[in-house]
A and B are shown apart, each in its own frame.
Chain A
């Protein structure tokens, strides 16, 4: 979910700094991490996300500034002539340590995790060759709730307390369902005052699941399933209301739809509502119409296209000849494309010869 850069910041004055010896230009008021990402330098992170405010919780993006101090790149603003080291042996070791602490705290078993293959923690574990620490670590019992909500699954054993879900709900959806509760090692997620998400006022927009870097919050799947690395994705425009949200639809090897994620380039800036997120499986219902039908003696029978088209065209010709073109009418559709609608009105006007064309604009 990328956000188009804020216009005022794009115009903000440039700030020149060096990252790993490379001179780059950042923007006044933006962070080291943002300057690095804009210049193709991949500083790792977990709690940062372009759609939400700065957090600085995970410490993965720790960098060296001016050889004297460690700073979290996601919160530290760029400054003129700043010298940044984004990675060296020491930083890599720190990152590995942080990752191993995160691993020890939870139950990060990719074997049965829906995020396997699309997990930012997994990527970093691979990148820094982190291992599950040996030895006994105190483990707290954490919330696993896969069934109370129709839209979301929650497994806090996979949570890294990055806070993206809290901010997704508080800054994008604005339902403020997710919060942190507890202190220190007892910190954990809570859905408002409710133990189960299904009992909370969550409206199932699913934006928390889209921003979650691990498998802690995942969407329920209405239809197909598949390994993340096998899914194919293509964008389209939501079929429901007039906002016109751009959505990436993911399908599995068998061609079944699996999930929908908000695309940052649309007017929705990556956000979706419950209908955009979950209302697509009707497309692959077995009750879809698959053949032209002609009604005979009150019952439908399947017909070939040629027969059905000839039948309708013949009838239309006759009615037009007997009763005139104004005895024919048609309804176009607010659910069809511009091209379909253009052609429908052209058919009615130029081929039938009437202006009896309308659609459900008023409904």
Chain B
């Protein structure tokens, strides 16, 4: 998030796109609801599903999956055409406006309504005028923006809109991605990415190589960017990746195209998994290391607003399990390293020396103060919101972006759009939530969400078991008929191994971020007929 959770009361309005906030980030969802319902703040919601927040929205756009860029361009088209944008801000702080404006020309409300599957183009005009009057307006998004082959462009489009309206670099504004895992921010900050060292310092830079060789007392650090997760799986199938070490992840359930992932894992010479349960992924491993769960360890995590907080040890770990960092250190030392960390704080203190955005933090400070990175020195109070006064890169770059459709459109053979996501009571692949009694009782089984309109077309009733197929695979799953779904679009949560949504999803990737297109692919719905009605099969 460019801005902070505690700025929610500072916003005059909220633009929520591709985020089912009340189910996936419920505490922030409640804070937004409080502003809108109890204090009369304004709300615009864009989502293919009629999510809870849409009920309180001043404008709600139920777009087709994968058409975020079109609706954003459509709103900006009106804002530019009617001269509603923040001219002084754009002129002084941004660049690239002319090109953006030129690209926006063709995104007329009628054209956009057609792409997005909206009935009333006039709503786009009205909403554009409405949001131009909301100062400051904060924009929230989640995986409903990013998990497309056009994910990076979707993110850039949200930034375009907020720059155009002068809502970046101000309290209560911002582009605010809601991160879906408790330390996904930190894992990125720490360099758990193939192209960057901690604090996003590129591995291709010779300066960075020299810096880290000296800090780590290492030789010949590679300047070649590594492979992303999906590329590693492809590499395994091609025989280029021979060993894979997975800590605390369950790609068999979480990654697209499950058959492909299993094939990759089974091609490895050495597959090591470090986890708290024998997950679907761990079952495929040659060696499994038992590690501590979150309440058994101490250490820091960084939340969606860049705030670093301390985890404390609450309970004793079971059996022979060990702390993740301890296991890594044992392996490193067997491969010739001479690491000697005695606790997580030792590691933090080394980390902050090579991580400029964390350099001013200590365990003591993190415990007693609210600190958000960047925090470059021990005296620095941390940063509540980014791009204050001027953008980190100098001028805010507006990017002219055209709408591109999802990799796999619907057709005669696969006529229904499938989108995936989470439900309130479950989380990700269920390793934690499905092993929690109350959560599992609240949401015990997989389902496919379908509109009343579609259920009638297919002659399917609520609770009926049906077959869903894509070009990757098929599964049987119970139907939940609901008004949440848009006709022609179905939704399956991906938590459930007994009907794993990722058997169906496509492994098409965004070319830059390599993020898979979980939010849109084409599927076919079929009624399952009892044997005697099939007339001898087909």
Chain A residues engaging chain B, CB cutoff 8 angstroms: 150-151, 170-174, 203-205, 220, 222-223, 234-246, 249, 251, 255, 257, 266-268, 271-276, 278-285, 287-295, 300, 305, 308-313, 315-317, 319, 323, 325-363
Report how many residues on chain B are interfacial, defined by Cβ distance under 8 Å. 143
| A243–B308 alpha-carbon span in the complex (Å) | 11
CB-based contact B288/A358 at 8 Å: no
B193 beta carbon closer than 8 Å to chain A: yes
Whether B514 and A328, one on each chain, are in contact in the complex, defined by CB atoms closer than 8 angstroms, is no
A349 touches B212 (CB 8 A): yes
Q: Are B435 and A287 in contact (CB under 8 A)?
A: yes
A-contact bits for B369-387, CB 8 A (1 contact / 0 none): 0000000000000000000
Q: Are A358 and B272 in contact, CB atoms less than 8 angstroms apart?
A: no
Q: Given A174-B34, A305-B322, A336-B187, check contact A234 B312 (CB 8 Å).
A: yes
Q: Return the CB mask of B167-209 against A: 1 if under 8 Å, else 0.
A: 0000000000011111111111111111101100001000000
Q: How far is the CB of A126 from chain B (nearest CB, A)?
A: 30
CB-CB under 8 A from B244, the residues of chain A are: 328-331
The 9 A-B residue pairs whose C-beta atoms are closest, nearest first, are A290-B319, A244-B303, A337-B299, A242-B179, A355-B226, A333-B248, A273-B26, A313-B334, A289-B290
7 cross-chain CB contacts under 8 A: A239-B182, A242-B182, A319-B269, A335-B181, A337-B300, A338-B351, A358-B228
C-beta contact mask, B4-40 vs A, less than 8 Å → 1, else 0? 0110000000000000000011111010011001100
Instruction: Please state if A323 and B242 are interface contacts (CB–CB under 8 Å).
Output: yes
CB distance B272 to A239 under 8 Å? Answer: no
Minimal beta-carbon separation of A312 from chain B (angstroms) = 5
Cβ B247 vs Cβ A344 within 8 A: yes
B437 in contact (CB, < 8 A): yes
Chain A contact residues, majority secondary structure? mixed
How distant is the Cα of A212 from the Cα of B319 in the complex, in angstroms?
Answer: 38
Q: Does B459 contact A (CB under 8 A)?
A: no
Which residues of A are found within 8 Å of B241, using beta-carbon distances? 327-329, 356
Contact A315 B290 (CB under 8 A): no
* New contact pairs (6) apart from A174-B33, A241-B25, A358-B194, CB-CB < 8 Å: A150-B438, A172-B34, A241-B182, A274-B438, A282-B431, A284-B315
Known contacts: A174-B33, A362-B513. The answer to whether A244 contacts B221 by CB under 8 A is: no
- Whether, in the assembled complex, B293 has its beta carbon less than 8 Å from a beta carbon of chain A, the answer is yes
Contact status A327-B240, CB under 8 Å: yes
On B, residues with C-beta under 8 Å from A are 5-6, 24-28, 30, 33-34, 37-38, 146-147, 178-195, 197-198, 203, 212, 216, 218, 220-222, 224-229, 232, 235, 240-249, 251, 254-255, 269-270, 272, 275-278, 282, 285-291, 293-297, 299-305, 307-316, 318-325, 327-332, 334-337, 341, 344, 347-348, 350-351, 355, 424-425, 427-428, 431-433, 435-439, 441-442, 513-516, 518
Given contacts A249-B295, A357-B192, contact A332 B247 (CB under 8 A): yes
Q: Are B192 and A345 in contact (CB under 8 A)?
A: yes
Tell me the nearest residue of chain B to A236, going by C-beta: B311
Rounded to whole Å, the gap between the CB of A282 and the closest CB of chain B is 4
Residue of A273, A279, A283, A313 touching B335 (CB-CB under 8 A)? A313
Residues from chain B with a CB closer than 8 A to the CB of A284 are 315, 318
**Complex Cα–Cα for A151 and B436 (A):** 12
